[in-house]
Amino acid sequence: MKKTWKIVLSCVIAAALVAACVGLVLQHRRLTTVSSALETTGQALQQAETNKQEQAAQKEQLEQQKKELEQQLKEAQDKLKASQEEQSKLQKEKESLQKQMELLAAEKKANNSSSVVTPIPGKVCYLTFDDGPFGVT
């Protein structure tokens, strides 16, 4: 009977060892799955951090480009304003020159159309200008 108990006890111990081994294998599988999931999550977090850094660099680059474009716009607006002021100045100068030309043309016309007349005392003389006759006594 002792032998039977030894065999039964050996079988129980063997079954316990097999159950423990199966438990260890299952635990190893779970740990492997969790480890794989953690590794995937770690890679995703690392990729997210890399993306975040790239986006920050792109944002900084866009901010720099924005500043440069704003500076170029300001310079262009300043040039436009200076050009408009110069154009206004030239327009005023043109108008002034046109007035001077008109005055010179009128003076030339007056000089060319007048003639020397020797008045006769007591007689009415008519001087004819391009603008019309004028009586002189």
Q: Is residue 122 part of a domain?
A: no
The whole-number pLDDT of residue 33 equals 94
> For residue 108, is it within any domain?
no
What is the number of structural domains in the chain? Answer: 1
pTM here is 0.46
Residue 111 lies in a domain: no
In a domain, 29, yes or no: yes
Q: Which amino acid is at 137?
A: T
Domain membership flag for residue 91: yes
**pLDDT tens digit string along 50-70?**
999 999 999 999 999 999 999
**Residue 59 counted as domain residue:** yes
Q: In terms of residue numbers, what domain contains 47? A: 2-101
Q: What is the mean pLDDT of residues 4-27?
A: 91
Q: Are 91 and 106 in contact (CB under 8 A)?
A: no
**pLDDT (tens digit per residue) in 22-37:** 999 999 999 999 999 9
Q: Kindly calculate the radius of gyration of the chain based on its CA atoms and give it in whole angstroms.
A: 56
